[in-house]
Structure 1
Amino acid sequence: MPSLAKYFREQNRPYLLPMPEAEVYLVSEFIPPGAEPALRQALQEQVAWRQEQITLFGRKIDQPRLTAWYADPGKAYTYSGLTWQPLPWLPVLSRLRERLQLFTGVPFNSVLLNLYRHGQDSMGWHSDDEPELGQNPVIASVSVGAERLFSFRHKKEKKLKQQVLLPSGSLLLMAGATQHHWQHQLAKTARVAEPRINLTFRYIA
């Protein structure tokens, strides 16, 4: 994928996070506040949420979140030892994909959804660097629900860290060489009791 920096400078809409060897943009109100409650309800009620298990230290444990994978036909996705076969697009997801494509100029053919039911649901440190995502993947991450703190750390320069609050309706766009040089996580927190839904749109080759 080409660099998005020129496009976004012309649009003058997002905020570029100060992270070397990365392109990470934050759009605080990608979803208008008035549209957010209906979107949240539709996602909670219509998505086929599942709780998968992963193997850790030789034993199976439940992932600390609910997940779902929707994509174009044939676009399976493998991560953390799990292979997801695509579910057909829901209308609510198709509309959101169309809006993202118009906004970014980037095609997306899949979306991984995570439902964090409360502050004890989380996602550990990782990079979205699976081979099927390509050399410099563009990941469009939409947040709906409770505001959560999202963290980055550089893979080699351990002192390089960044944190950003992701409000409901926000879009975090990770592009360029971000996945080569940085990891990200959503840590547990005792300060949040409400659910948060995260949708990460991707292009699977």
Structure 2
Amino acid sequence: MQHLIDAAHPNLLPAHGEAVLFPDFFTPRESDIYFDYFKNDVSWKQEPVVLFGKKRMQPRLTALYGDINGEYSYSGLTMGVNDWTSPMAEIKEKLEKRFETSFNSCLFNYYRDGKDYMGWHRDNEHALGEYPLIVSVSFGSTRIFQFRDYKEKMPVISLELDHGSVLLMKRQTQEYWEHRLPKTTLPVGPRINLTFRLLLHKG
């Protein structure tokens, strides 16, 4: 039986984890305001990564904010941590209240068009702890988001992340499932994603 946050928000995963979508967590007006603010005022960077032995630029822009000091390393990257701004703190407070948890960092991703993407991965860095609770917020154009079983590579579960939606991932999700935001040839506009998490220590 699938776990439920409530009757309107079922678990999207068939087993071993919990992923729940809240399609209209933020109102259209709130979402428009946040998107415009983050697009213009976040300290976006395009970082290099090593794939198959070759250094390439990430196919998206990123930034890291939080109340942890110094730098944080993940997936071979070391990022400087920026201080929260007021709009970020507003969103953080609303999420913490709704999901009865706390966050000390947020990874921002800016997908400029359909060519920008995120490959298959798990958010299972040691600094996140054994079973991290991660909340992903979407502003901007709708994009397809996918889960698949980490070992079997099946089934593939696809969902749409709309403007103002929130995706909650918890329990064993990062152990048994990997996820991605695939590229698309469809004419889509920019999307900004905020991934709130609790770092137990710096990576």
Question: How does the TM-score come out when normalised to structure 2?
Answer: 0.92
Instruction: Work out which of the residue numbers 12, 15, 19 in structure 1 matches 2:10.
Output: 15
CA distance in 1, matches of 2:10, 2:42: 30
In structure 2, what residue type is equivalent to 1:120?
A: K
Within a 5 Å distance, the mapping from 1:125-204 to structure 2 comes to 125-204=120-199
Alignment CA distance shift 1:75-1:134 (3 Å): farther
Render the CA deviation track for 1:148-204: whole Å, top value 9, x for unaligned: 000111012333221111111000000000000000000000113300000000000
**Aligned to 1:65, which of 60, 63, 69?**
60
Q: Superposed, which structure 2 residues align to 1:33-182 within 5 Å?
A: 33-74=28-69, 76-182=71-177
Evaluate the alpha carbon distance shift between residue 13 and residue 93 of structure 1 in structure 2; reply closer, same or farther with a 3 A threshold: farther
Structure 1 residues 111-156: Cα deviation after superposition (integer angstroms, max 9, x where no partner): 0000000000000000000000001001100000010000111012
In structure 2, what residue type is equivalent to 1:168? H
SS at match of 1:35: helix
Report Cα offsets for 1:2-43 as digits up to 9, x if no partner. xxx57x33xx55332143111000000011112111111000
Whether the 8 Å CA contact 2:68–2:104 is kept in 1: the answer is: no
Provide the rounded CA distance (Å) in 1 between the counterparts of 2:129 and 2:13: 24
Mapped partners of 1:180, 1:135: distance in 2: 8
Where does the alignment leave 5 or more consecutive residues of structure 2 unmatched?
A: none
Q: Are 2:68 and 2:105, in contact at CA under 8 Å, matched by a contact in 1?
A: no
| Amino acid across the alignment from 1:31 | F
TM-score scaled to structure 1, two decimals?
0.92
Structure 1 unpaired stretches of 5+: none
* Partners of 1:89 and 1:158 in 2: CA distance: 37
Count of residue correspondences:
198
Pairwise CA distance, 1:60: 1.6
Tell me, in whole angstroms, the C-alpha distance in 2 between the residues paired with 1:75 and 1:142: 24
Preserved CA contact (<8 Å) 1:153 1:184: yes
